[in-house]
């Protein structure tokens, strides 16, 4: 069973700047990877990692190894949504023999974390940024933190809201409960049939 927990971050002005810088750097990583997907038609996470990891680590040394892995995951996940989701206007069956379009990630694209780049203990959240760890004291119920510690972490996504604040979304999997009771298959899905994720823009292939 998947469950989704959303936690707003009460960030000071200097923390907002650090989060925005991280989000911009993550978007640059994704945009450096997108042309490879377009030319190779490869977006399987493992295959894409083997194709691109070394080059991305050299090109973006300040992002760290795990954030490069998370960006590869983000691009792989987004491509599955764009090219394989039945409701997508760019589903492979609709494209036919046409070349893949180039996906461009907005500077406000979601940033993916994992247990290597984000931790939560005793209400203290510690997360990776481009200039060291940043910490927030969260006011969350003890049972929610216990779930974070004991359940399998599916996704952690940092997103910027319309008012400029940041939100963390935790997708957790309770492996003791059957998957048929899942309320959500993930944090980010296509909003409506025929639409693309709002953080993705498309350059049509020539």
**Could you report the per-residue pLDDT of 28-71, keeping only the tens digit for each?**
999 999 999 999 999 999 999 999 999 999 999 999 999 999 99
Q: How much is the pLDDT for 150? A: 82
Q: Are 97 and 200 in contact (CB under 8 A)?
A: no
Phi-psi region of 179 (alpha: psi -120 to 50; beta: other; left: phi over 0): alpha
Q: How much is the pLDDT for 183? A: 33
Strand order in the sheet with 2-9: 2-9, 166-173, 152-160, 111-113
C-alpha separations of 20 from 16, 23, 101, 125 in Å: 6, 5, 27, 18
Residue 123 CA to residue 20 CA, distance in Å, equals 23
Residue 139: Cβ-neighbour burial (10 angstroms; 0-12, 13-18, 19+): exposed
Residue 81 CA to residue 89 CA, distance in Å, equals 10
DSSP codes of every residue in 186-199 = -S---SSTT---TT
Mean pLDDT score of the chain: 87
pLDDT category of residue 97 using cuts at 50, 70 and 90? confident
Task: Indicate the pTM of the whole model.
Answer: 0.88
Residue 28 CA to residue 109 CA, distance in Å, equals 10
- Whether residue 205 is predicted with pLDDT greater than 70 in this model: the reply is no
Where in the sequence is the domain holding 93, given as residue range(s)?
2-189+198-203
In terms of Cα–Cα distance, which of 6, 7, 40 is closest to 136?
Answer: 7
Per-residue pLDDT reduced to its tens digit, 110-164: 999 998 999 988 889 999 999 999 999 887 777 777 887 788 888 899 999 989 9
Residue 114 CA to residue 154 CA, distance in Å, equals 9
C-alpha separations of 166 from 98, 142, 154, 172, 189 in Å: 38, 22, 20, 20, 19
For the segment 22-31, the average pLDDT, to the nearest whole number, is 98
- Whether residue 206 is predicted with pLDDT greater than 70 in this model: the reply is no
Residue 127 CA to residue 115 CA, distance in Å, equals 9
Residue 33 CA to residue 36 CA, distance in Å, equals 6
Number of structural domains in the chain:
1
Residue 127 or 197, more confident: 127
The pLDDT > 70 percentage for the chain reads 88
pLDDT category of residue 173 using cuts at 50, 70 and 90? confident
């Amino acid at each position: 069973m998947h469950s989704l927990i959303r936690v707003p971050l009460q960030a000071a002005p200097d923390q907002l700047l650090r989060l925005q810088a991280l989000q911009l750097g993550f978007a640059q990583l994704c945009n450096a990877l997108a042309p490879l997907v377009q030319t190779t038609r490869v977006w399987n996470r493992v295959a894409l990692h083997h194709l691109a990891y070394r080059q991305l680590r050299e090109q973006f040394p300040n992002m760290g190894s795990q954030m490069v892995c998370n960006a590869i995951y983000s691009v792989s996940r987004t491509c599955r949504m764009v090219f394989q989701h039945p409701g997508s206007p760019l589903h492979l069956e609709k494209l036919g023999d046409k070349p893949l379009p180039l996906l461009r990630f907005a500077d406000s694209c979601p940033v993916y974390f994992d247990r290597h780049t984000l931790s939560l203990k005793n209400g203290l959240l510690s997360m990776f940024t481009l200039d060291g760890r940043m910490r927030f004291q969260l006011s969350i119920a003890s049972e929610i933190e216990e779930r974070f510690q004991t359940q399998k972490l599916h996704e952690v996504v940092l997103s910027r809201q319309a008012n400029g604040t940041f939100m963390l979304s935790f997708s957790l999997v309770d492996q003791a409960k059957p998957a048929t009771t899942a309320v959500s298959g993930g944090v980010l899905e296509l909003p409506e049939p025929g639409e693309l994720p709002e953080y993705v823009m498309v350059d049509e292939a020539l």
